[in-house]
Amino acid sequence: MLDSLLSAFAQFLTPEVLGMVLVAIPVGLAFGILPGVGGLTALAILIPFVYGMAPLPGLAFLLAAHAVVYTGGSLTAILLGIPGAPPNAATVLDGYPLSRQGRAGYAIGAALTASALGGVVGVVVLVLLLPVLQPVVEALGSPETFFLALLGVAFLGALGGSQPVKGLIAGGLGIFLACFGTHSISGEPRFWLDSDYLIDGFRLVPLALGLFAVPEIISMMSTGRAIASRTQSNSIVRQQVLEGVFAVPRRSWLTLRSSLIGVCVGVIPGVGGETAPFVAYGWARRGAANPDGFGHGVIEGVIAPESSNNAKEGGALVPTLALGIPGSSGMALLLGGFLILGLEPGPNFLQNHLDMAFSLAMVVAVANVLAAILMLVLTPKISMITRIHGHVLGPLLLVLVILGAFSTNSNEFDVVYVFIFGLLGYFMRELDFSRAALLLGFVLGSVVETYLHISLAAYGPLFFLRPVSLLILGLMLAGIGTVLIRRGRG
């Protein structure tokens, strides 16, 4: 193993690999910042560019770009209330209120530092787990995946807003909307109303853009107000950024715990990275002295999802490299990159290319840190966007949203549904229904259904009696119950 690590260092510290990482970082950040154009789109667009490259530089390029997308996405989540990618929706909950209070620099400093540290923790765990991974991943079966997916939705629904019942309605509605379209098990289209568009169900990007972007644009256009109710000079913004940077090590246990949640969720194939930031957010809120402060601009509500967001990438690499099973949808695309470059992840890959696996881990760690440093330097300039008059920023954002929605599938119905979900999101925001819970329910709806079906088929109705399943179920009930009881007493 030591030989592999040394070889990995040697391979990583070559001009080709470092050059690819440096090129990929701004590309990934740009994709993350553009609403609607997230990590999956970035990978899909960039994969053709690696044809003909050597394996490690090519993979370093793809992985570095993908790893930093969520760092870029956190910026729009905080500054504009628009998640750059669905996992960034958890950051909106407290990041955007901080921005509106004129403390965008504080939130961004904390988010970027948490992202960098979370990415490093994810990589460290990856490196430690890789050689011993197979039995760990194989111990997690369909019941555990089912409960984990449900855990994410239930946590966010019950804990992510001020009214748990409304949050659970939102999460349930998200799962219900995910039932539209072709049934993944039988292939029969459901609730499609004889519409070709709905055979494939609702799309994630129009839903996310509509729920989060359109309500903010409506507010900007109707009031004309800038995002920040108080404007700050660049020097104060720089001060805020530093304050945010130091806020993370002062909450080291929160950062570490959230990162570990990200890694654990990322390791489980099929659940996807979207759950991790919400579970981390829910746990942070549950353990906070003032849980009702969450959602109104509490820095812990930014640190928790951001550190888990980047840590999960290291976790998602684990089953991808070790078993050839993608740990997330992004990793599924990355597998395509592996095959293009003539490599086949799996147990043999670790036996024959363990040094390359370690090099890729280094790529993720370094990319996260460099991206955070780059964005920290640019933050005072970028945060000026919160001072732009709403009547200027609103229409420009709407243009980006429309184009972002159209560009996913070149389908005009995607734009139509952005408006429909936008109205839904507007009223949800005004009436305190959790939009993040709906989004997460939508993302995980098919996972929940599929793994429920598999669990019932494989283990019967008592599938939940497996030890790890009982543990996850217990954690879910304990976490939700604790907060509900505290609220009831309050």
Partner 1 sequence: MAQLDRLFTGFILLFVMSFLAIGYFYYQYSWGVFYFPFATGIVIICLCIFVLCRHRPDQSTGRSPQPSITAATGTIIDTRQPTGAWSGILWVLASVPFVIVFGYLFGLALYVLVFMRTHGQGWALSLTMFVGTLATIYLVFMSLLRVSLPLFPHGVT
Positions that interact with partner 1 (CB under 8 A): 37, 45, 97-98, 100-101, 103, 106, 163, 165-166, 168-169, 172-173, 175-176, 179, 183, 185-186, 188, 190-191, 193, 214, 217-224, 229, 290, 293, 296-299, 389, 391-392, 394-396, 398-399, 402-403, 406-407, 410, 412, 415, 419, 422-423, 426-433, 449, 452-453
Cβ distance to partner 1 smaller for residue 168 or 260: 168
**CB 190: neighbour CB atoms within 10 A?**
13
Shortest Cβ 36–partner 1 spacing (Å): 11
CB nearer partner 1, residue 23 or residue 403: 403
* Least distance in angstroms from the C-beta of 140 to partner 1: 22
Distance CA 455, CA 434 (A): 29
CB-CB contact of 448 with 146 (8 Å): yes
Cβ-based nearer residue to partner 1, 186 or 235: 186
Closer of 3 and 194 to partner 1 (Cβ): 194
Residues 447 and 7: their CA atoms lie apart, in Å, by 38
How far is the C-alpha of 408 from the C-alpha of 201, rounded, in Å? Answer: 15
Q: Closer CB to partner 1, residue 227 or residue 376?
A: 227
What minimum distance in Å lies between the beta carbon of 325 and partner 1? 24
Q: In the complex with partner 1, which residue's Cβ is closer, 183 or 387? A: 183
The residue (of 415 and 475) whose beta carbon lies closer to partner 1 is 415
* Residue 13 or 185 having the CB closest to partner 1: 185
- Nearest distance from residue 254's CB to partner 1, in Å? 13
Q: How far is the CB of 4 from partner 1 (least distance, A)?
A: 38
At 51, list the tokens.
């044809």
What's the min distance (Å) between Cβ of 180 and partner 1? 8
Residue 126 beta carbon to partner 1: minimum distance, rounded to whole angstroms: 31
Non-local CB neighbours of 387 within 8 Å, separated by 6+ positions? 226, 227, 228, 231
Query: Least distance (Å) from partner 1 to the CB of residue 357?
Result: 31
Q: What is the C-alpha to C-alpha distance for residues 259 and 121, in angstroms, rounded to an integer?
A: 6
Q: Shortest approach of partner 1 to residue 218 CB, angstroms? A: 4
Nearest approach, Cβ of residue 393 and partner 1 (Å): 10
Q: Which residues contact 41 (CB under 8 A, 6 or more apart)?
A: 31, 407, 408
For partner 1, give the closer residue by CB, 134 or 182: 182
Residues 6+ apart with CB under 8 A from 20: 57, 58, 60, 61, 64
Closest contact distance (angstroms) between CB of 322 and partner 1 is 31
Q: Which is nearer to partner 1, 25 or 133 (CB)?
A: 25
- Identity of the residue, 357 or 454, whose beta carbon is nearer to partner 1 in the bound complex: 454
